Chains A and B, each alone.
Chain A
Amino acid sequence: QLVQSGAEVKKPGASVRVSCKASGYTFTSHDITWVRQAPGQGLEWMGWISGYNANTNYLQKLQGRVTMTTDTSTNTAYMELKSLTSDDTAVYYCARVLVTWGGWYSDYWGQGTLVTVSS
């Protein structure tokens, strides 16, 4: 199970940090990916963090603004996004990544966190 932090309202230029607490599995055995969905739009992959060694890979257009981390002591993943604009208004999801012979896919998802950027 993945449980995310609550909705946030931020002003343009601010930062937001969303948490994703995992339970029911060995946290370091699986990676986490973050996906966002702007209102009425499709899913956008934001990035990935290894549960094993915290290596990361980010969507190029978010490079420099996004940071993904994990805290293995609390089985929690975090996504921080800086310099927010109205274009960052979206529901943010974390999802567990399962690595198999058939590729990678996300079998468990958080409930989503709405981040609203408004002055």
Chain B
Amino acid sequence: DIQMTQSPSSLSASVGDRVSITCRASQSISRFLNWYQQKPGKAPKLLIYAASSLQSGVPSRFSGSGSGTDFTLTISSLQPEDFATYYCQQSHSIPRLTFGGGTKVEIK
């Protein structure tokens, strides 16, 4: 199975900061990479699919990049509602859509 590794596992940032989260796959997954946001007690929410395509309704401050094994989720200007945990998910090895371990974004 493809292993997904996120870094950092947590970070502290201030409102307005630019934040980047990295996801690395154990083998090449082309651009078959999704990003989700999860807030406490809530189901995950799709942010980005196919590495860089923004899901409808998601603010443009979220962006994704990368291909092969290395991917990045960037929040250009962190807003109060963005404090949450973020997960990457590969969809190369279908139907096994495995997740990374998550990155918790906390308020500094």
**A residues lining the B interface (CB < 8 Å):** 31, 33, 35, 42-45, 48, 57, 59-60, 93, 95, 97, 100-107, 109-112
Which chain B residues lie closer than 8 Å to A44 at the CB level? 99
Report the bound CA distance from A45 to B100 in whole Å: 10
Which chain A residues lie closer than 8 Å to B102 at the CB level? 42-43
B72 within 8 A of A: no
Q: A100-B50, A102-B53, A103-B49 are in contact. Are A33 and B31 (CB under 8 A)?
A: no
* Contact call A105/B43, Cβ cutoff below 8 A: no
Which chain B residues lie closer than 8 Å to A105 at the CB level? 34, 46, 49, 89, 91, 97
What count of chain B residues pass the 8 Å CB interface test? 30
Residues B32-63 near A (CB distance < 8 A): 32-34, 36, 38, 43-46, 49-51, 53, 55
* Contact call B46/A104, Cβ cutoff below 8 A: no
Give 25 A-B contacts (CB < 8 Å), ordered by A residue.
A31-B95, A35-B44, A42-B85, A42-B100, A43-B44, A43-B89, A43-B99, A43-B102, A48-B97, A57-B96, A93-B44, A97-B95, A97-B97, A101-B50, A102-B50, A102-B53, A103-B34, A103-B50, A103-B91, A104-B32, A105-B46, A105-B89, A107-B46, A107-B55, A111-B43
Which chain B residues lie closer than 8 Å to A100 at the CB level? 49-50
Residues B69-90 near A (CB distance < 8 A): 85, 87, 89
